[in-house]
Amino acid sequence: MQMPPEYRGREHTWLKHRVLQLYLEAWAHKLGSVARRGTARLWYVDCFAGPWHAQSDDLRDTSIHIGLEALQSAARTWAKAGAKIELGAIFVEENDDAFVELQRFVHERAGGVAAHPLHGSFGSQLSEIKRCIGSDAAFLFVDPTGWKGAAMEFIAPLAHQPRRDVLVNVMFNDVNRFRNAPQDFIRAQMREFFGLVDADIPPGLDEEQLMSLYRKRLKGACSLRFAADLVVPHPFQERTKFRLVVGGHHEEVIRLFRDVERRVVGQEASVVRVGAKERKQFERTHQPLLFAPQAPDTDQSYKALRLEGLQEVELFVPEFVRSQGSVSYRKLWPPVLEACHITESDLKKRLWDMDREGRIVLTNVGSNDRSVKEHHRIMLPGEPQPVLR
């Protein structure tokens, strides 16, 4: 998909919004399916709504517009099938000027969505958010401008209930810079952000270890079964800009998230970043390139993470199987996809190849099976296979 001109110079925001759009649309369509058995009610909760740095009059380049459109798209789809979905959206914004713009837009564009703009900080509006959404299905988008105000204690009361997914933008560049700052107030804010009660962030953690800590704390504090993250790279530098962390109660959260990751930061980011680098070079030299660079099929940042993930599979799977004796594929794939930047199709192909290489043994495989199935089991070579009766 081509990046709109409103995102020029904000390519990282475009990638973030694409992840939000694709995930939220799929979530809303999936959760809306319960409307076939009766009326369903879905909520989108934007905890730091803004709008910030919007370049379009209709706020098309903001999470506000994206959230409303995703809900309305799901409602249109299920309406064609005769199902009814009730839609609600909550937009929290503390800044006075931004809130005025938010109110104007919501009043004009909410359509069939029961929209609730709330003026104040995320934490101060927690009780009102809980009152509005009750026990309904809800998608929470937590996108602070830094880390202040996005404390784990505010996310947990909303995310712990069933049919709740949460997407958190960890502003890695800022968090990494200040995580070991000596100021007491910053250390306190970091503890709140990571959900640490009595201890600071352990020193010496690299990027992956730091994000592993955040995922673990998110799962524990919010009683979530699954959590994973992806890297939104800097547009023209080889470093991380954001880490988007998803959490939820169903394994489909992980499967969907990894598919979205591959599409956005694997494929679409390649074109976006090549364009950003070309623009940056022109701004620096004032000389256009004689030959426009060709974007690779896969962005190099994602390609490296995917390769690392496939290598981790080769190490993790034998150890995991050894600890279990044997394990079903259904039990194996969620923890692998949580930790590795690969899709389920990547994992299935790697396991199939490992079986052919004699490194693992797939059992319960039918004569017509050509890939790993949910009912297959994984064992190590030399172990006795169970007798099927």
Residue 286 lies in a domain: no
- Give the pLDDT of residue 39: 75
Residues 238 and 102 in one domain: yes
Evaluate whether 273 touches 309 at the Cβ level (below 8 Å): no
pLDDT score at 290: 59
Residue-level pLDDT at 388: 47
Q: Does residue 53 lie within any of the structural domains?
A: yes
Taking residue 288's Cβ as centre, other Cβ atoms within 10 Å add up to: 9
Residues 190 and 156 both lie in one domain: yes
Q: Has residue 121 been placed in a domain?
A: yes
pLDDT at 320 exceeding the cut of 90: yes
pLDDT of residue 40: 83
Residue 64 sits in a domain whose CATH number is 3.40.50
Say which residue the tokens 């009610």 belong to: 41
Phi-psi region of 223 (alpha: psi -120 to 50; beta: other; left: phi over 0): left
C-alpha gyration radius of the chain: 22
Are residues 78 and 207 located together in one domain of the fold?
A: yes
pLDDT at 289: 65
pLDDT at 389 over 60: no
Confidence band (pLDDT; 50, 70, 90) for 33? confident
Structurally, the chain folds into a number of domains equal to: 2
Which residue range(s) make up the domain with 235?
Answer: 5-277
Residue 320 sits in the same domain as residue 194: no
What digits encode the pLDDT tens for the residues 59-95? 999 999 999 999 999 889 888 888 888 999 999 999 9
What's this model's pTM, rounded to 2 decimal places? 0.94
The residue to which tokens 């994206």 are assigned: 66
Residue that has been written with the tokens 């192909």 in this structure: 349
Q: Closest by alpha carbon to 220, among 195, 256, 253?
A: 195
Ranking 76-85, 220-229, 345-354 by mean pLDDT, the lowest is 76-85
End-to-end CA distance of the chain: 52
The answer to whether residues 210 and 345 belong to one domain is no
Residue 333 CA to residue 327 CA, distance in Å, equals 10
Whether the bond into 51 is cis, omega within 30 of 0: yes
CA 153 to CA 221: how far, in whole Å? Answer: 8
Same domain, 258 and 325: no
Residue 384 lies in a domain: no
Q: How confident is the model at residue 384 (pLDDT cuts 50, 70, 90)?
A: low
Strand order of the β-sheet with 164-170 is 113-119, 85-93, 40-46, 137-142, 164-170, 240-248, 226-233
Lowest mean pLDDT among 149-153, 184-188, 258-262, 379-383: 379-383
Q: Does residue 234 sit within a domain?
A: yes
Q: Are residues 147 and 248 in the same domain?
A: yes
309 lies in the same domain as 246:
no
